[in-house]
Structure formats: structure tokens, C-alpha cells
Amino acid sequence: MSLHQADQLAFDRAMVTQPVWNRFNTAADAVNLPDNVLLHAGPAFAAPDQITAPILNSACVAAVWEGLARDFDQAEAMILSGEIVLQPAQDHDVVTPLAAVVSANMPLHTIYDAWRGQTRIFTPINAGSRPAMRLGLRSEAVLEHIRWLNTRFLDVLQGGIAEGIALVPLAVVGLVGGDDCHGRTPVATQALVEELKDRTPNGISDDNALEFMATSPSLFLNLWMAATKIMMKLAEGVEGSSFVTAAGGNGREVGIQIAGLPGKWFTTPASPPRGNFDVDLPEDRALGAIGDSAVVEAFGLGAMAIEHSPEQKKSVGAFLPDNAEARASGLSVGAHPYFRALDIRLGSTARGAVAQGSGPVIGLGILDRLGEAGRLGGGIYDMPVTPFAAAMKALDA
């Protein structure tokens, strides 16, 4: 099937992009986010009582960090009453992993397109392997780590950005070294850390920060999510295009947006990813698919490029659908100049998903739906064709 002209144009616009991390901004400064609004992954919740427990927990931590509430209990009451409002991060040009929540004054990596300059996407600092907000736990340990990330560690990162760090070349280094740019990012993370060390005048002297970077192989992930999202964002507004420009889950629903209908979510109920648990809990504790990192798979990497990551395939390959390889080639649109040597095709379209009857396969962390045990394991979410079909129906109308 030949590619629809509008989808080709949207893809071309996405590929002519050079994502660069060059500074930090807050959501208040960058997108005028009100103080009482918190941002979460995936599409919107229908009502406050529909907020999934892990996101509610993280929202309580963010509200206390922000100074909106004196403690977690007061924060929960304010959220459930609507005094504090939750909205989708991607609707504000922000991407956030799993259950992590962004508040107005949180420092965010700013990623811009160095070739055109005006479009920017924002993402919080990755919390690494310490108590992380993305795991959806309501605890003082998570709050303390966020405080450290957004002060001491922020200072270290700011000292090493220099004139800005291009992210696509780091992703290529990662893919060559066995990353999939989602479930596994240690090689790209190491390349990022070396860049930061080289660019920091007199080197990094904070031993705590150095230890954190050495033991947190996912540090590159948030930056790559934002890089992916800015490429998708630049495809928005192409009339008639079904090129996917947003993808994410909130634990209750997963959804997408397409270039021809910017800002409109098409959703379906979120089933849990299938995978092995690292903890002794029943399968029914698994939360539905969650996180804005689904943009990476909708872009063609992560589980869609798992053949480039033997370790990731060994970890979750048993849970891939039988037609995973055919699906990766059937959904993808074309090559990015930087990725051609790797034989990786990128992008996805609702037209392609409808034609083959399925969406992308997405590698995801599995969270505890009760918000008590954090991460249960990792697995594969097989995204149904439903939201893609709904998007095509709306586009054709």
C-alpha cells in the first residue's frame, strides 16, 4: 500500500528536525501553567474520582512539593474536590513517564528544534533508580528525592549543558550499542553523562550526583521522550494526515492524536501490559497501560525496534505478539537520515494501523494498580486498533 500524500508530508516535517536540550524552564514560565494545575501522562480523566491510584499518589507528592498542600492527605482532598486540577501533559507540550506528575514550578528539560527554533517540548528530570515519582508511590522518600533532583542535581545538569546537547546522535549511539531507546537506555545514558562531564568546567565534583548518574541507566529516557515528541509535534496541522503525533496512557485509558486533528484524543480502555512480575503479587494487581513514553513506540523505537536490543528482547520478547516484526514494518513510514545506517524505519499512521488491524506494540513498566508496591515488573502492551479506527473515522468525516 502506497503512503497517503498527507501522511508523507507529515512524516517529512517530523524528520526534518534536530532536537536539542539547551536549558531548563518551568511549566509556569514555558506554557503558562496555573499553580493549581498538575500534568499527568496520557489522555484526560473523566472526573477526579477516576484518577488511578499511582497518578493520584504522585499528584499528592507534586502538590506538597509545589506548596499547594501541607501534607499528602490535604493534597488528596484538594485533588478530589477539584481545587487542584489534573490535565494531560501532552496537551501542554510536556511528556512525563509512567505515573510521574509535573507541577507549575518544577524545573523541566527544554528541548527545541535547532533547525527551526520556535517549537519546544518539556519533560521532568528522570528520577533514576532512587525513589521515583514515576512509580506512583506516596512517600516522604519520593518527596525528598524530588527536592534533591530539582535543586542539587539540577545545578549539576545546568553546569554541563553548555550550548546545548543534540539528542538524536546520542540515540544512535544507544541503538548501535543495544539500547531500544525506551525499555533500555544505558548506552545512550552513558554517552549523555560523558557529554555532561566533558562540558562541565573543571568536571563534576558532586560525588552524590556522580553516584546517581552511574547507577541510573534510564537518565536519557525523559530527554528522548521529549525529542520524539518534538518531532511528532512538528507534523501537526497537515490536513488529512493520520500521522500519529501523541500516544500515552493514564492507567485507565490509552490514547493517540493525529496530525490532521491536532489536540483531539482518541482513546480506548487500558488493559495491563503482559509481562513477568519481579514481586510476589497476583496478576490482577497490574495497572492498565500508563505513561507518555508510548510516544517512543508510536515513533518506531522501543518494542517496535526490539530486534536492535538483544537484552530487551530476552527480557520481554516472550510477550510480543506473533506478528510483531511484520507489525513494525507495516506501521512504520520511512527513514530518518541519522538512522539509515541502522535500517530502522520510523513514524506510524492511523491509516497503517487500520490497514493491518492493530496498533504498535509498546514496552512498558507494570505498576501496582493500588499504588502500594510501585513497579511490579516490565512487559508488552499490545495496543488495539480501536483508537486508530476512531481517528480515521473522524478524519474522514
Strand arrangement of the beta sheet that strand 165-166 belongs to: 120-124, 107-113, 19-26, 165-166
Q: Give pLDDT tens digits for 353-373.
A: 999 999 999 999 999 999 999
CA dihedral 252, 233, 229, 351 (to 10 degrees): 60
Task: Please give the CATH architecture assigned to the domain spanning 5-9+231-396.
Answer: Alpha-Beta Complex (3.90)
Ranges of each domain in the chain: 5-9+231-396, 23-227
- Report, as an integer, the average pLDDT of 108-122: 93
Confidence at 345, pLDDT banded by 50, 70, 90 = confident
The CATH architecture of the domain made up of 23-227 is Alpha-Beta Complex (3.90)
Residue that the C-alpha cell 483531539 belongs to = 264
pLDDT, position 116: 86
What does the pLDDT read at residue 1? Answer: 55
Q: Which residue(s) pair with 113 in the sheet?
A: 19
Predicted local confidence at residue 327, as pLDDT: 80
Tens of pLDDT, residue by residue over 75-104, are 999 999 999 999 999 999 999 999 999 999
**What is the SS3 assignment for 299?**
coil
Average pLDDT score over residue span 285-311? 95
pLDDT tens digit string along 195-245? 999 999 999 999 999 999 999 999 999 999 999 999 999 999 999 999 999
